Structure 1
Amino acid sequence: MTRQIIATPNAPSSPLFSQGIRAGSALYVSGMVGVDPTTGELAGAAIEKQTTQALRNCESVLEAAGCTLADVAMVTVLLANPADFAGMNEGYATVFPTDPPARAVARLGPELPGILVSITMTAHIAQ
């Protein structure tokens, strides 16, 4: 199976990871944080704003691969502070208001200054 790297200027990037990898009909989106890629700044100090921005960053990677949020099968949310769960859900519901994908929520391992959430996705591309 071949592996295709997905890259877009519309999401945060790093030389340490690919924003997305397509392998067969699966698309794996790396953990995206709530940084606005146009400014390089956090979307805000509130978990709701960072969650929404992180999801929009994931959506940009999906679009670069020819997918949409409707193609997402699994989302993993990593929270810096478990007490932010309710606020994360508020931001999450603005992007997935109905028929959301499967989801897991866990604690974010590293402490990154100002980063409250990291979100990864797996989508399936129609062939």
Structure 2
Amino acid sequence: MTDTHPIETDGAPRSDNPYSQGVRAGDTLYVSGYGPVDPETGGPVDGDIQAQTDRVLENVAAVVEEAGGDGLADVVKVTVYLTDLSDYERVNEAYGANFADEPPARVCVEVSRLPEDVRVEMDAIAYLG
């Protein structure tokens, strides 16, 4: 691959698994999926689904910023994974507060389970041009 490199930051949770926190390919950044994990403790944050959604988006923003971007303002696509679609409206409230001006394209799917049994995870694509 040409013009690609992994992005690593202490501002988002690290993993022992074989993947990068993000990969920059030219002006595009692909951010790995993040749950509501505190990068300092390595464990899921306490709180309701809205607090968990905020933590997920903080993790995504940290990777974008490490890659030279402007946090969530540069995100153009998000995939949301929920273990229970009854959380959808409350996730939307927190999500909308984080993407108030120009929300990115988005997909939301219900999944049977997420790592560490968290209730929400998101991955993202950002444009850093």
Q: Distance in 2 between matches of 1:65 and 1:41?
A: 24
Question: How big is the shift at 1:62?
Answer: 0.4
Aligned to 2:82: 79
> Which TM-score applies when normalising by structure 1?
0.91
Cα contact 1:108–1:117 (8 A) shared by 2: no
Query: How do residues 46-61 of structure 1 correspond to structure 2 at under 5 angstroms?
Result: 46-61=48-63
After TM superposition, give the deviation of residue 14 of structure 1 in Å.
1.0
Q: Write the mapping of 1:1-127 to structure 2, written as runs, cut at 5 A.
A: 1-16=2-17, 17-68=19-70, 69-126=72-129
Q: Percent identity?
A: 39
More divergent stretch after superposition (55-64 vs 103-112): 103-112
Residues 35-44 or 56-65, more deviating: 35-44
Question: Is contact 1:43-1:53 (8 Å) kept?
Answer: yes
What amino acid maps onto 1:93 in structure 2? G
Distance 1:94 1:114 in 2: 25
**Matched residue of 1:89: which SS?**
helix
Deviations 1:48-90 (A, max 9, x none): 1111100000000000000122211101111111111011111
| Matched AA of 2:125 | T
Contact 1:5/1:21, CA 8 A, preserved across alignment = yes
Distance in 1 separating the partners of 2:76 and 2:66 = 17
**1:45, 1:114 within 8 Å by CA — same for their partners in 2?**
no
